[in-house]
Amino acid sequence: MRTSVSLNDLLVDELKDLYSAENQMIKALPKLARTAESLELRTAFEEHLEQTRNQVARLERIFENLDASPKGKSCATMEGLLEEGSELMDQLDGAVLDAGLIGAAQKIEHYEIAAYATARTHAEALGMDEAVRLLEETLDEEKQADELLSQIADQVN
């Protein structure tokens, strides 16, 4: 039996998923940075860690405005993507490891781009202008991170 869920409920669920995903990234990025051989890749991971902390703060602001809790959901997609990356770290080394880390990180960025774009669209439909602005800011950062990873990949490969 299906339960009736509003677009607002769906948005809150999506935001909880993103909150979980970003917090998982905060834990994973230091290990990715330590593992990277390329100084440029290591620096990109370290800088993205700071960005990710700011993204979590933006999500917390949105939850505050919605009078909702960000807790209560674990992002299974991010868990899977991080597990794949972890397997690569155990199997590869040198420049091949960096190429694998870049690929794993880009899969994560593409997931986040899709998730933030969806949440932004739903917030827009609900007339939540501040949420739209905050989600758009994070979406732009995720796109820039993906672009930077592509540039680093050109050098590493």
Domain locations in the chain as residue ranges: 7-156
What's the pTM value of the predicted model, to 2 decimals? 0.94
Distance (Å, rounded) from C-alpha 103 to C-alpha 87?
13
CATH architecture of the region 7-156: Up-down Bundle (1.20)
CA distances from 93 to 4, 21, 74, 154 (A): 50, 26, 30, 18
Question: What pLDDT band is residue 21 in, cutting at 50, 70 and 90?
Answer: very high
Percent pLDDT > 90 in the chain is 90
Check whether 8 has a pLDDT greater than 80: yes
Average pLDDT rounded to a whole number, residues 73-92: 94
Confidence check: pLDDT of 64 > 80: yes
Look at residue 2 and tell me whether its pLDDT is greater than 80: no
Q: Mean pLDDT over residues 71-86, rounded? A: 95
Confidence of residue 7 (pLDDT cuts 50, 70, 90): very high
pLDDT at 40 over 80: yes
pLDDT at position 95 is: 83
Q: Is the confidence at residue 1, as pLDDT, over 70?
A: no
> Which pLDDT belongs to residue 65?
96
Residues 22-54, buried b or exposed e (16+ Cβ, 10 A)?
bbbbeebbeebbebbebeebbebbeebbebbee
